[in-house]
Each structure stands twice: as C-alpha cells, then as structure tokens.
C-alpha cells in the first residue's frame, strides 16, 4: 500500500484510498478487540498469535465479539501463527503483554518494510526500549489504552468490557503527519483515539495508577474498590503509587496534576469493580507483567537514588507466588 502519512483517514474518505494493511501481534483479549473493529472498518486485518484454538476459531467461524461495542461475529480477519507468514504491512500493532514485546519486535524487524510503522500498546514501562534492541525506533509509536477492558470467553470469543480512549504518540515526541494518519485510522474504526505530542507523560500517568492497583490487588486478592475501601490496603496502594510518582518527578516527567493522591483516588473510584490484569493472571495461575509494572519501580528507584520499600516488598511477594506457576 502507498499512502501519504498526513492524509486523514475517515469513513467518508476511506473509499478513495488504498485499504490500510494492519497486523495485530498478540491476539489476546484487547488485541482481538482491536482486530475486530479494524476489520469492521474495512481494513485488511491480520492477527498473529500462538494460541492454536483461538487462531483456528477465528479462521473457521470468525471472531465473536460482544459487550461494549455490540454482539456479533466478525469475519474477514486473517489469523495466523507466525509473523513471517504476513504479507506487506503498513501498521504493526504489538498487543502482547510486556514480556512478549521483545520477541514480537525481533520477528517484525525481519520482515517489515522501510516505511512500515510499529505501534506498541502495553501496561508498564520499557516497551519502546525492548523494541529498540531489534530495530531503529524512528518508525515506532507508543500507545496507552485508558479505561479499556476485555476478557476472553473462549477460543474466538471475546467480551469487550469498556472502551474509553486510545492515546498515541511518537516515541521521540512531537506531532507528525504519520501520527495524525494513525490517529485517524483508529478513529475511523470507532475508537476514541487521540494523538499527543508528549506520550511519555501519558505513559507515566497510567504507569503510576497501574503500580497503585496491580501488585496490591494481588497481595490482598481484591478488586480495586475493595483495595480502597479498606484503610490499611489503601495506604499500601498509595504508598506504591507515590514511590513511582516521586521517580517520575525526578526523571522530569511533566504530570498533568500536582496532587498525586487525589489523582489516584479518583482513578480507583471510577472502576471499583475492576480487577487489574495482574490479579486476573494470578487467579488463572499465569505469570504476570510484574517486571514491567511494580518491578520497574525499584529498578528506576536505584537509578535515581530513591528508596522504594512498598514496591520492594510487594514485588518480592508477587514473584514468590509466581515461582510456583507453571
């Protein structure tokens, strides 16, 4: 496909240009939602995942998507197991968990074209740096999914819990034509997507909230509402968050707020019944993204000379539990 990076892709203009070719790498719950809405928008959409039953179901009967965006079966998605089997792609969306980013980037680097873009959307920090091990980051965008939830009901069957906003930005900062093009592509597929000049601010604002909710919800085995309705639990959660916030300030991150506690409390109040993905992973006996979320706080704390006792303790607890997982 040949496209102009600055061209706005809207539902009214999409008929007048070549069809975007998009590959979703990591067809978990959220990656599958991305693929479903992109396919419905008329984009040439592929998903890549190693889960045999899921890929087979999508290939044979389509993707059953229910919940916030409606209940239907979506066809026309090319479901495969290997990135090497993809044809030319305009936009790769890495939707794996944080521990799968490096492997995905390594495989994409082998086949991507010079003008292909890579957009990575994960919880935690470090996705861009993991990608940089395998390719130049000139064509890498970072994304943040806010208030966006989904769960897997079974092979080929996804429940879409909520969809608030997708935020995207250049890894190196600034506004570019190609960033506006990607923003328009998501918007035309029905997402509330916004391009930002400083995506790192948004990554960090989500990061401190993930730190606040993730490991504490595992430690106390509770929802976000239950975490904050108990004073002792709330102190631990906010302690984790404030350690991350202090590190962000030391790293010259420009936050959109001055009162981190008020920001965190409001974040929690908006989703009292939710369970962070880290808790869901543990309930399913799966290893979590602890290294990219709470585990990053002690690492960065040591770099900046900042003590992180809350996160040190909870990271040790989570890792001890995960040592028994298969």
Angle between helices 296-304 and 231-250 (to 10 degrees): 50
How many structural domains does the chain have?
2
More confident residue, 8 or 316: 316
| Structural domain includes residue 187 | yes
| Residue where a domain stops, chosen among 164, 197, 230 | 197
User: What is the average pLDDT across 59-70?
Assistant: 93
Let me know whether 212 and 289 are in one domain. Answer: yes
Q: Does 3 map to a domain?
A: no
Give yes or no: residues 241 and 270 share one domain. yes
- Do 267 and 172 lie in one domain? The reply is no
Residues 25 and 159 in one domain: yes
Which residues, listed in sequence order, are joined to residue 144 by a DSSP beta bridge?
Answer: 167
* pLDDT at residue 11, as a whole number: 31
Q: Quick check: helix, strand or coil at residue 264?
A: helix
> What's the whole-number mean pLDDT along residues 68-94?
95
Asked if residue 286 and residue 167 are part of one domain, the reply reads: no
- Answer yes or no: are the C-beta atoms of 224 and 218 closer than 8 Å: no
Check pLDDT > 70 for residue 14: no
pLDDT per residue as tens digits for the range 271-321: 898 899 899 999 999 999 999 999 999 999 999 999 999 999 999 999 999
Residues 166 and 276 in one domain: no
127, 162, 197 - which closes a domain: 197
Residue 162 binned pLDDT confidence (cut-offs 50, 70, 90): confident
Based on the fold, state whether residues 131 and 155 are members of the same structural domain.
Answer: yes
Residue 225 included in any domain: yes
Domain check: are 123 and 20 in the same one? yes
Where does a domain end: 182, 197, 212? 197
| 217 and 159 inside one domain | no
Residues 6+ away with beta carbon under 8 Å from 70: none
Evaluate if residue 10 carries a pLDDT over 60: no
pLDDT of residue 4: 37
Clarify whether residues 215 and 112 are in a common domain.
no
In a domain, 54, yes or no: yes
What band does 16 get if pLDDT is binned at 50, 70 and 90? very low
**Mean pLDDT within 146-164:** 86
Q: Could you tell me if 232 and 140 lie in one domain?
A: no
Could you list the residue range(s) of the whole structural domain that residue 145 is in? 14-197
* CATH number, residue 316: 1.10.1040.10
Domain harbouring 137, CATH code: 3.40.50.720
Q: Is residue 230 domain-resident?
A: yes
Q: Would 210 be classed as within a structural domain?
A: yes
Q: What is the pLDDT of residue 72?
A: 96
Say if residue 164's pLDDT is above 80.
Answer: no
Regarding whether 95 and 207 lie in a shared domain, the answer is no
**What b/e sequence results for 126-154 when a residue is b if at least 16 CB atoms lie within 10 Å of its CB, and e otherwise?**
bbbebbeebbebebbbbbbbbebbbbbee
- 3-class DSSP assignment, residue 46: strand
CB 81 within 8 A of CB 2: no
6 — pLDDT class (breaks 50, 70, 90): very low
**Nearest alpha-carbon partner for 276 in 201, 226, 311:** 226
- For 222-252, what is each residue's pLDDT tens digit? 999 999 999 999 999 999 999 999 999 999 9
pTM value? 0.88
């Amino acid at each position: 496909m040949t496209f102009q990076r600055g061209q706005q892709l809207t539902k009214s203009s999409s008929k007048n240009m070549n069809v975007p070719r998009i590959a979703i790498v990591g067809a978990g719950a959220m990656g599958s939602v991305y693929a479903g809405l992109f396919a419905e928008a008329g984009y040439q959409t592929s998903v890549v995942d190693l889960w045999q039953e899921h890929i087979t179901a999508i290939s044979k009967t389509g993707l059953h998507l229910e919940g916030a965006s409606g209940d239907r079966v979506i066809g026309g998605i090319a479901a495969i197991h290997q990135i090497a089997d993809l044809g030319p792609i305009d936009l790769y969306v890495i939707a794996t968990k944080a521990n799968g980013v490096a492997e995905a980037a390594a495989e994409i680097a082998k086949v991507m074209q010079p003008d292909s873009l890579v957009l990575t959307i994960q919880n935690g920090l470090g996705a861009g740096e993991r990608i940089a091990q395998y390719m130049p980051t000139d064509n890498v965008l970072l994304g943040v999914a806010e208030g966006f939830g989904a769960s897997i009901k079974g092979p080929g069957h996804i429940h879409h819990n909520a969809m608030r906003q997708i935020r995207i930005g250049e890894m190196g900062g600034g506004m570019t034509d190609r960033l506006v093009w990607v923003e328009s592509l998501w918007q035309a597929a029905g997402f509330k997507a916004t391009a930002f000049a400083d995506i790192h601010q948004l990554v960090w604002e989500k990061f401190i909230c993930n730190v606040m909710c993730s490991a504490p919800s595992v430690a106390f085995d509770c929802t976000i509402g239950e975490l904050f309705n108990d004073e002792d639990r709330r102190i631990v959660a906010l302690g984790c968050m404030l350690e991350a916030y202090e590190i962000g300030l030391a790293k010259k991150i420009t936050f959109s707020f001055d009162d981190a506690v008020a920001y965190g409390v409001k974040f929690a109040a908006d989703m009292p019944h939710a369970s962070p993905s880290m808790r869901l992973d543990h309930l399913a006996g799966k290893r979590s993204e602890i290294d990219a979320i709470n585990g990053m706080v002690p690492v960065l704390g040591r770099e900046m000379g900042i003590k992180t006792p809350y996160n040190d303790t909870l990271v040790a607890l989570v890792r001890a539990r995960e040592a028994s997982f298969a």
